[in-house]
């Protein structure tokens, strides 16, 4: 069971206004301001100052920042994804500018945070810096019989996720328990690397590319395994917001449907 959606950041009427205003954002300048605001953690001073620098001269930026702040925590990632889709329609130069600005806002926190790394990878994928994820293909072997190189890629990517799942605040034994549950199908058949140390950025990207190249039918199995193990190893069967966000972004990066237990955690952005 997941935590219910967090209460809104403001009054109900301000929530409705924020959703209405964000729904109307389609120009590059507005999308820049809103997407960068969604990268700023609540109460984080240095990224907030970096956001101000990046959006200086944009008269609509302060209002959009206020509207982003008014969103409930469970709305932020769905809106981030929705606005990325709109941003992907903008000219290449605008997209590249946003990616560089996002790098500066994220780096303002100092240390590299795992959740920021996933947001960065998601932005790069959605804004066209990498090729498309492999399309549907039949699964040549069963999940438990995946070749060693595929198992190793799952292990490396899962070791990175273990910094956030099932919660970023539990001790390493809790993370190792989740990781062991994820890797259980292959224990005794192929060498499974330990959870620690977590992969560096280059190893993470390499592992992600290998997972993206797997047959499409295998990728939802990986996602279900991650979520099921997270629920089993969370206190009270509840995942933290960062854990849920990490798994949702991972599903998107793999072009995999979200397991319903994960999707139920979020308040979806309205369509269109």
Structure tokens at 157: 């990517």
Q: Does residue 11 register a pLDDT over 50?
A: no
Do 164 and 243 lie in one domain? The reply is yes
- How far, in Å, CA of 77 to CA of 73, rounded? 8
Is residue 178 a part of any domain in this protein? yes
Do 64 and 157 lie in one domain? The reply is no
- How far, in Å, CA of 60 to CA of 21, rounded? 11
pTM of this structure: 0.87
- How far, in Å, CA of 254 to CA of 183, rounded? 18
Provide the residue range defining the domain that includes 100.
Answer: 12-112
Phi, psi of 73 (to 5 degrees): -55, -40
**Of residues 153, 148, 270, 271, the one with CA closest to residue 207:** 153
- Final residue belonging to a domain, choices 112, 134, 168: 112
Structure tokens at 135: 């399309």
State pLDDT tens for residues 215-255.
988 999 999 999 999 998 887 777 888 999 999 999 999 99
Quick check: 152 and 193 in contact, CB under 8 A? yes
- Final residue belonging to a domain, choices 89, 112, 135: 112
Q: What is the pLDDT of residue 263?
A: 93
| Structural domain count of the chain | 2
DSSP reduced 3-state for 57: coil
């Amino acid at each position: 069971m997941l935590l219910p959606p967090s209460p809104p950041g403001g009054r109900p009427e301000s929530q409705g206004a924020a959703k209405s205003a964000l729904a109307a954002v389609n120009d590059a300048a507005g999308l820049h301001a809103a997407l960068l605001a969604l990268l700023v953690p609540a109460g984080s001073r240095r990224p907030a100052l970096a956001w101000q620098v990046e959006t200086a001269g944009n008269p609509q930026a302060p209002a959009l920042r206020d509207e982003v702040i008014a969103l409930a925590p469970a709305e932020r990632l769905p809106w981030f994804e929705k606005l990325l889709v709109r941003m992907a329609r903008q000219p290449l130069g605008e997209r590249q500018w946003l990616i560089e600005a996002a790098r500066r806002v994220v780096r303002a926190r100092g240390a590299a945070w795992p959740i920021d790394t996933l947001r960065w990878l998601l932005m790069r994928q959605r804004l066209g810096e990498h090729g498309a994820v492999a399309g549907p293909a039949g699964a040549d072997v069963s999940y438990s019989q995946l070749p060693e190189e595929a198992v190793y890629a799952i292990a490396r990517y899962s070791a990175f996720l273990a910094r956030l799942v099932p919660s970023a605040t539990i001790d390493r034994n809790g993370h190792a328990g989740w990781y062991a549950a994820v890797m259980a199908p292959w224990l005794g058949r192929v060498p499974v690397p330990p959870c620690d140390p977590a992969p560096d950025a280059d190893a993470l990207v390499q592992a992600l590319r290998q997972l993206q190249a797997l047959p499409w039918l295998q990728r939802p199995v990986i996602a279900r395994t991650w979520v099921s193990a997270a629920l089993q190893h969370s206190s009270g069967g509840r995942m933290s917001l960062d854990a849920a966000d990490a798994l949702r972004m991972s599903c998107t990066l793999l072009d995999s449907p979200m397991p319903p237990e994960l999707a139920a955690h979020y308040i979806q952005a309205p369509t269109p």
